[in-house]
Amino acid sequence: MSLLYVPAYYAPADDDVRDLLRQHGAVDLVTNTARGLMATMLPMVWLEPSSTDAGWGRLVGHVARKNDQWREPALGEAMALVRGPDTYISPSWYETKRIHGRVVPTWNYITAHVYGDLVVHDDPSWVEDNVRRLTAKHEHDREPGWSVDDAPTEYIAGQLRAIVGLELLIGRVEAKFKLSQNRSSADVDGAIDGLAREGKEEIAAAMRAAEAQRTGPGEE
């Protein structure tokens, strides 16, 4: 049973969800604990499952040692909120606004709710591997870039002692790509043009891709 409201026309293909998990920056990690809900925004890297594994793999990251979320055991599943681009959509961009005026604003977005068991790694070697993995993800195309080895060894060792690793073993993923799939092609084209004029090319490109994939508009 899905806990996220996802009309059929907003349900993405698994390959699109995988692309989101590969490309995302930071997530909101939420756990239910004996002290109540706890949440931390943190960068995480998706470790894809092997070719023989039908699952969703793992999300790995770290938090400050002083952050109590890692100390408080999660009651049941933990959840990571993974987001893509999002934006306001003005009805002034729609062709149907000129035809009959029965249009209202909305918000387009890409999101995935990732659920699983949370494992804590209070292990310097594990944490260092994770830091290097995160750094490689975000520095690989920078010139000049930065490497963990650019900093003094003693300094890095001290920084590693101040953080604790987290690993979300993904059990299921619920995703929603709300990209105006419920609008006519003329309305979608108008919204894409409006977003392009505002420089919001990332979500405009996602809407173009969704429009190319769909077979027709759904219901509101």
> Does residue 84 belong to any structural domain of this protein?
yes
Domain count, the chain: 1
Domain membership of residue 99 (yes or no) is no
Residue 114 pLDDT:
98
Domain-located, residue 217:
no
Residue at 197 is within a domain: no
| pLDDT score at 219 | 39
In a domain, 45, yes or no: yes
52 falls within a domain: yes
| Residues of the domain holding 23 | 8-89+105-181
Structural domain contains residue 94:
no
Q: Tell me: cis bond preceding 105? Omega within 30 of 0 counts.
A: no
7 and 179 Cβ atoms separated by less than 8 Å: no
pLDDT of residue 218: 46
Question: Measuring CA to CA, which residue among 106, 60, 100, 62 is closest to residue 86?
Answer: 106
Ranges of the chain whose pLDDT falls below 70: 1-2, 52, 215-220
CATH of the domain at 114: 2.30.110.10
pTM over 0.85: yes
